[in-house]
């Protein structure tokens, strides 16, 4: 499966990929305020959480606007992949 990162007409960004660590298919949906503010990740139960750098749960919280959200998620996805690949290369 190829990684897909798209933005819909409502401004939500969907990231669909295979996790390098778990090898599981993941689909994550992100949103940001129209102006500028904290990025939110929509959860399957209807709740939201604030993703951090490298799309992780800890670290500096991501900020974007609807206009910059796609670029922010693409950038942070690339950082996450590099970090995951480094972890895989370090393991015996």
Task: Note whether 6 and 17 are within 8 A (CB).
Answer: no
Q: Give the range of the structural domain holding residue 68, as residue numbers without chain letter.
A: 4-87
Residue 48 clears pLDDT 90, i.e. is over it: yes
Confidence at 1, pLDDT banded by 50, 70, 90? confident
Quick one: average pLDDT of 73-84?
94
Structure tokens, 12: 């939500």
Report if residue 74 sits inside a domain.
Answer: yes
pLDDT at 92: 67
Domain count along the chain: 1
Report if residue 92 sits inside a domain.
Answer: no
- Whether the pTM exceeds 0.85: the reply is yes
Report if residue 24 sits inside a domain.
Answer: yes
Report if residue 16 sits inside a domain.
Answer: yes
Confidence at 90, pLDDT banded by 50, 70, 90? confident
Report if residue 73 sits inside a domain.
Answer: yes
Report if residue 14 sits inside a domain.
Answer: yes
């Amino acid at each position: 499966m190829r990684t897909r990162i798209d933005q819909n007409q409502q401004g939500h960004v969907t990231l669909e990929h295979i996790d390098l660590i778990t090898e599981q298919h993941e689909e994550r949906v992100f949103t940001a305020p129209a102006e500028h503010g904290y990025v939110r990740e929509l959860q399957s139960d209807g709740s939201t959480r604030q993703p951090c750098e490298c799309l992780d749960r800890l670290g500096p919280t991501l900020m974007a606007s609807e206009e910059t959200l796609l670029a922010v998620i693409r950038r942070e996805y690339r950082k996450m992949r590099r970090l995951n690949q480094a972890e895989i290369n370090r393991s015996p």
